[in-house]
Amino acid sequence: MNKHNLIAVLDFGAQYSMLIARRVRECKVYCEVFPYDISIEELQRKNVKGIIISGGPASVYDVGAPKPDPKLWNSGIPVLGICYGLQLMAKELGGDVKEGKKREYGKADLALDDQSTIFAGLDSIMQTWMSHGDTVAGLPVGFKQLAHTDNTTYAAIGDPERKLFGVQFHPEVVHTPKGIEIIKNFVYIVCDCQPTWTTANFIDQQVQEIRKKVGDNKVLLALSGGVDSTTVAALIHKAIGSQLICMFIDQGFMRKNEGDKIDELFTGRYKVNFLNINARTRFFEKLKGVTDPEEKRKIIGENFIRTFEEEAKKLGEIPYLAQGTLYPDVIESAVSGSTTGKVAKKIKTHHNVGGLPEKMGFKLLEPLRLLFKDEVRTLGKDLGVPEDIVSRQPFPGPGLAIRIIGEVTEERVKILQEVDDIVVTEIKAAGYYKKIWQSFAVLLPIRTVGVMGDKRTYLNTIAIRAVTSTDAMTADWARLPYDLLEKMSTRIVNEVLEVNRVVYDISSKPPATIEWE
């Protein structure tokens, strides 16, 4: 990475730590998230030009409250403390932090008392988002008040000489509209960084690194056809050409004609060594009579692994396995510092090719492991990946199998493929595909009575699901226009003979999940 322009986010357990890193990268400055207790020596070895201390759920008065390396404050590296980070900075440097009797949560108008450094070029009053209990009541020596709100005297403080700054609000969230300008001021003015983090630079660097690491060896990539694995394929192919072998395992649960489209893309446009493994019979047999959602997922994952292993052995000696692992996967899988001072448990372990076991004799190649999803989409565009893949909505690993409630059969998959194709086509035609996070159809294990052509029918029910979200952690049901819903319903009932009823899911997450299984 571009180590001469590295900003480090120290994670104190904030729900927004990854978002801070994303915001810095939006400034075209490279940023990584590190455990809160990483040593200053390690950060200096990485040539860090600035440090952002995240917020967190702890209070500075908690027993065992998490603290950074004590040498941080006198290291000479510029620091921006956010929320808990501000309180920690004030308390550690001799200021007074008062335990909050009442939380301040929500929008607050910030009045600027100093419009230099981190507030340079900003209006004297700006909207911010507060979320805190404790409050700074007295400043450390050398600090001055930079901004205040009606409820918070020291809403922003700073010691410009030592390049130490703190804000009580969250500049990284959308509820602080000009927050990105504060982050830009910190990384450009205070840290003297240059906007050199671009996908073009990333491609050049990764191409060199892949060639150096792989040499004359072959690389095997399990391809799903989604944006991550397709972008990985395009990047590695650019680096080593015919040394890349892509394997697509068709388990029978893909969207309509998706296997053919993927085959055409990689054999036609990219001229890649491409293996299309038809494993449909195996998967349908294994799922016969299975209705439990979790059991479905386990069977599909297990058989994906077994199929991959069997097919990989036929190819002879291939030392490298490529995966589309992204930065959020790395952070969630990694063991990092927690707000209790103990080692945090793994949230989940990600293997982006369907849960491949580590003991397969492969060395991993994960060129996207330091990118966020939006960066991967940009990278894909720069590498010539088709727009319909780059902008593709998330699609679950088990495919349509978990959008069929109850037993998965070839007949039920075919029904859902036809319905899904109508839903996606109409959502795109109406201009909503890129506006919403996900939109899809679910085949329910319910038959209902209907009337078609003056005859009684007793056919399948379809649920349409469409949600808005920014990260899939929470989601709200999409308020699609009635005429669009009507058009989808009419087409589904008229064109898919096995369906006579369509319903719309208006559940949010939580309490519901995005997928039905």
Known catalytic residues are 83, 170, 172
**Helix (H) or strand (E) run with residue 489 in it:** helix 482-495
Measured between alpha carbons, how far is 454 from 456 in angstroms, rounded to an integer?
7
Q: 361 in helix, strand or coil?
A: coil
Q: Show the tokens assigned to 260.
A: 């053919």
**Residue ranges with strand state E in 343-454:** 363-365, 438-452
For 389, residues 6+ apart whose C-beta sits below 8 A from its C-beta are: 225, 226, 227, 230, 265, 380
306 phi-psi bin (left φ>0, alpha ψ -120 to 50, beta other): alpha
Closest among 100, 98, 236, 81 to 168, alpha carbons compared: 81
Measured between alpha carbons, how far is 324 from 370 in angstroms, rounded to an integer?
11
For 160, residues 6+ apart whose C-beta sits below 8 A from its C-beta are: 116, 117
Which residue is it, tokens 């085959």?
A: 263
Looking at residue 475, what DSSP letter applies? B
Amino acid at 159: D
Measured between alpha carbons, how far is 244 from 239 in angstroms, rounded to an integer?
9
Looking at residue 188, what DSSP letter applies? I
CB 84 within 8 Å of CB 91:
no
Looking at residue 375, what DSSP letter applies? H
| b/e burial code for range 32-58 (CB count within 10 A of at least 16 → b) | bbbbbbbebeebeeeebbbbbbbbbeb
Angle between helices 410-429 and 482-495 (to 10 degrees): 150
